[in-house]
Amino acid sequence: MLYLDSAPNSSSAHAVAPVRGVAIPPAPAVGGLEACMAAGAVRAVKAREHIFNAGDARTHVFRVEAGAICLYKIMPDGRRQVIDFAYPGDYIGLGCDPEHALNAQALEPVRLRSLPAATLSRLAGRDPMLGLKMYEAMAHELAAAQDHLFTIGQRSAAERVACFLLALSRRNKRRDKDPGVVVLPMTRSDIADFLGLTIETISRMLTKLRHAKIIDLEQCTLVKILDGNALERLAGGEAAL
Amino acid sequence: MLYLDSAPNSSSAHAVAPVRGVAIPPAPAVGGLEACMAAGAVRAVKAREHIFNAGDARTHVFRVEAGAICLYKIMPDGRRQVIDFAYPGDYIGLGCDPEHALNAQALEPVRLRSLPAATLSRLAGRDPMLGLKMYEAMAHELAAAQDHLFTIGQRSAAERVACFLLALSRRNKRRDKDPGVVVLPMTRSDIADFLGLTIETISRMLTKLRHAKIIDLEQCTLVKILDGNALERLAGGEAAL
DNA sequence: CGACTAATTGATCCAGTTCAATTCATGTGG
DNA sequence: CCACATGAATTGAACTGGATCAATTAGTCG
């Protein structure tokens, strides 16, 4: 999943700089991707359907308009690692191999917009800002993957679950949604394969968090965060359960 | 670490190529990064010294000329995750946060060339190919991080060690070095923190591989691969120890 | 309502950790 | 050049967090 901008945060240093003066006739200005996407084909995907599979030709890049997506790798023996979840506003399918490296499966009914990869690379060859945006997006995703690596390599089961819930809560905050209520469109199995744990462990850790009054679970797809600070201390390894 | 080309595989447009003639006034041609780097400041770093730390301002991008580097994240409580190792030809320090997200430590005496980040972003704003190359490099690194994620999340200790040795062997093959002999410039502790295991487990797994006649360990920094196929079957989960 | 799938909970097990010695390298000063 | 100091690696024994196996229980969809 990718951020390819959107947000109005001009924070990142290098970047993107004043666009004026870059507006050359042929290439669209910055934001061209979004503009192109807006004109792109809409695709509806039913829950559980795959959008693409590892090994498929990378013909298109997609932006998620609605619904949640699970991106994963799987071995012949069935072991699966969920790499990321993508939500509305995220881009999926970017990369520079001619083939997708991941499987992308809709967790619920999904609406996408698609852009042919060839179009994207043609535009990027003309507009330096577009290439830079793509670079920025990949850098962002790389940073997320590195954090995830830390979580899986070093944290305990309880810490991993706490990190996971916090990440969803923070995403809500960024999108101006309630950070105190987290919806889980994925199954326990998806969470387990994301965190390198089993469904039983996920379930037990959620129960422990509930008993510690840190969260509440009204339905199994809906987490209320009762004590965000405790959750952060847990995620940071400053506390245990 | 990043590949931003190097190797004599003409596939990527700007292979190392002759540097002469690249000095064009406004925007350097493709391969500009390498050319600029060639003119960049050289920096020598002693073994165990840090090149930069997480949180430092990202003022420069580096290319490794000689020596090996360990890139890691660390928590206040001392838990450490090694994210990657960088070797000659790799770039380190790329990214779009204003601050480094990783610590970079020399594992042995290292020689680097550096390019100010500001220069790089200025050039990339003019030359679409440069931005695209940076995108490509990040995409490559992201793919590697995702593989690493799978390894740590799903594979057993023996499989992880096998994957690690295979990755080094394949790197050798790419660089036209002997894929049958792998040098380990890092300590067992670095390997352990890279694979999410302990030094004892690394040691035990290497011993098991040695007893199974899959590798030989003449010195603890030098691995001879005796049975590459067995190693690959192990890494792929098709065999056990 | 009944059938099926997802989630929870409990009991047992085991891969990898932790703790504790050795052993092996490497470098340093006499 | 050797003896000794120091940190790295190996090896062994005991322990444990999370996995596995095994029922229930709770949702959800025809």
Positions in chain C where some atom is under 7 Å from a protein CB:
6-11, 15-20, 25-26
Residue A132 has its nearest CB partner, among B124, B136, B154, at B124
C-beta atoms of A142 and B141 within 8 A: yes
Distance CA B10, CA A104 (A): 32
- DSSP, collapsed to helix, strand or coil, labels residue A211 as helix
Through-space separation of residue B110 CA and nucleotide D8 C1' in angstroms: 21
> What pLDDT score does A4 carry?
56
C-beta atoms of B129 and A125 within 8 A: yes
Residue B128 has its nearest CB partner, among A17, A83, A128, at A128
Let me know: does A136 contact A130? Beta carbons within 8 Å.
Answer: no
Distance CA B192, CA B82 (A): 8
pLDDT digits (tens, 9 = 90+) for B181-228: 999 999 999 999 999 999 999 999 999 999 999 999 989 999 999 999
- DSSP, collapsed to helix, strand or coil, labels residue B189 as helix
Amino acid at B128: P
Let me know: does A121 contact B13? Beta carbons within 8 Å.
Answer: no
A187 touches strand C (CB under 7 A): yes
pLDDT digits (tens, 9 = 90+) for B89-116: 999 999 999 999 999 999 999 999 999 9
Mean pLDDT of chain A: 88
Amino acid at B191: I
In this model, does residue A21 exceed pLDDT 90?
Answer: no
pLDDT digits (tens, 9 = 90+) for A201-234: 999 999 999 999 999 999 999 999 999 999 999 9
Let me know: does B16 contact B22? Beta carbons within 8 Å.
Answer: no
- DSSP, collapsed to helix, strand or coil, labels residue B66 as strand
Measure the CA angle with vertex A132, ends B73 and A8; round to 5°: 80
> Residue B85's beta-bridge partner residues?
B70
Whole-model pTM?
0.90
Residue A186's nearest nucleotide, by CA–C1', is C6
Measure the CA angle with vertex B71, ends B228 and B179; round to 5°: 20
Instruction: Report the pLDDT averaged over residues A29-33.
Output: 54
Q: How confident is the model at residue B4 (pLDDT cuts 50, 70, 90)?
A: low
- Structural tokens at position B131: 């931005």
Through-space separation of residue A65 CA and nucleotide C2 C1' in angstroms: 37
Least confident of A24-33, B46-55, B174-183: A24-33
